[in-house]
Amino acid sequence: MSTEIILIYDGECPFCNHFAQLLNIKSSLPNLKILDGRKNLSQLTNLYKKGYDLNNGAILINKEEILHGSDAVNFICSQIKEPKDSLLELLRIIFKSKKRSKWLFPFLLIARRLLLTIKRKSWQPVSENIQF
């Protein structure tokens, strides 16, 4: 029996949302559960309290391991074996390299923040005023 892998992304970010849709429909990863962090605030808040901020990238939970940002995207892309979409294949090729993921990820965060600003959405779905 395979272990469920959970990917938490920002559903308000057009890039994140499209990537999540591609993964859901065309990645052939049967044990992947994809959650919009803005619709799962209690789980997102618990992760935020542990130092995992959705504002700094997607969060991936695999067994007891939590991966964040470029590491989460790198892990997912390295798991995709036969994508059924050319864009997903391109993303897989680019982000299956840890080095490329770490180098490119800051640019993705900047683009995400720019788009969220244009949409007049908060960069941070979890309040900074959380009691620890």
- The whole model's pTM is what? 0.87
What pLDDT digit, counting tens, does each position of 81-97 carry?
887 889 889 999 999 99
CATH of domain 5-118: 3.40.30
What pLDDT digit, counting tens, does each position of 26-43 carry?
887 888 999 999 999 889
Give CA torsion, residues 116, 117, 121, 122, to 10 deg.
100
* Residue (of 96, 45, 51) closest to 74 by Cα position: 96
**Residue 75 in contact with residue 62, Cβ under 8 Å?**
yes
For the chain, the structural domain boundaries read 5-118
**In one letter, which amino acid is 122?**
S
Cα separation, 37 vs 123, whole angstroms:
12
> Can you tell me the mean pLDDT for 69-81?
93
Q: How confident is the model at residue 61 (pLDDT cuts 50, 70, 90)?
A: very high
DSSP state of 35: E
